[in-house]
Amino acid sequence: MPTKTLLIPTTDGQADAFAAFPDDGERHPGVLMYADGFGIRPVLREMARELAGYGYYVLVPNFFYRHGPAPLVDLPEHIGEEARTALIARLMPLLEAHTEERVRSDADAYLRFLTTRPEVAAGPVAVTGYCIGGLLATRTAAAHPGQVAALAAFHAPVGAAGPDTLAKITAQVHFGHAESDLTPEALDELNRSLDAAKVDYTSEIYPGTVHGFTMSDTDAFDPAGLRRHWDRLLPLLRRAL
């Protein structure tokens, strides 16, 4: 599986990024994948490679590039709860500085770069993301309704996007929520907003999961949750792309 480390030109500099794609000389649909707050690291590279193996060009940008290349902080091989708390404290100021204006500007640059890669087929693309990356993916899909045909977000605070943002989405959508992140009442409220916006979506709580369940390098990892994630993501991409 070919992989590359790339630099994406943006209005504020160059964002480092990881890309994986099939080694068959063909052009494949593009997928923009947003990492969680811990950023690009071995588990994200492995997930990108796995998704690429199903026939996609997968681009994972470092959305904290304004502060330096990934990884911005030293990450342990396994992020336990104590390490997670300390890391979040260091990363929170960067998350707070990543304004909606920056998200939109970066999304323009990421999609422009993705769709002009020689390995990427013409046509619509997908965006997917984890944790805060799921919120970035949601905002990206809303800002590019004619270009993004599929949106998937996992254990992500997608409700923070707000009804006005959700109403702009024309992509087919799947939201996979951690049981610890969302009450059934909050899920109903989110789904009512999606219904009101006439979004083509599935939105469900994954039973027995906690925030971060897709990430195998954390205490939150849930193998059944990760399998369910692939079982939802891959059919969505096949339908939309």
What does the pLDDT read at residue 162?
Answer: 95
Q: What is the CATH number of the domain that holds 102?
A: 3.40.50.1820
Cα–Cα dist 142/176, whole Å: 18
| Closest-CA residue to 61 (of 148, 144, 128, 152) | 128
What does the pLDDT read at residue 159?
Answer: 95
| Closest-CA residue to 71 (of 222, 181, 217, 209) | 217
Domain that holds residue 13: 3-240
- DSSP, collapsed to helix, strand or coil, labels residue 116 as coil
What does the pLDDT read at residue 1?
Answer: 78
Structure tokens at 25: 């000389």
Cα–Cα dist 28/16, whole Å: 22
Please name the amino acid found at residue 51.
L
Cα–Cα dist 184/220, whole Å: 20
Q: What is the pLDDT of residues 198-229, one digit of tens each?
A: 999 999 999 999 999 999 999 999 999 999 99
What does the pLDDT read at residue 204?
Answer: 97
178 burial level (CB within 10 Å; 0-12, 13-18, 19+): buried
- In angstroms, what CA-CA distances link 105 with 110, 152, 168, 228? 9, 20, 17, 32
What residue ranges of the chain have pLDDT lower than 70? Answer: none
Total tally of structural domains belonging to the chain: 1
Helix (H) or strand (E) holding 147: none
What does the pLDDT read at residue 115?
Answer: 98
Please name the amino acid found at residue 104.
R
pTM of model > 0.85: yes
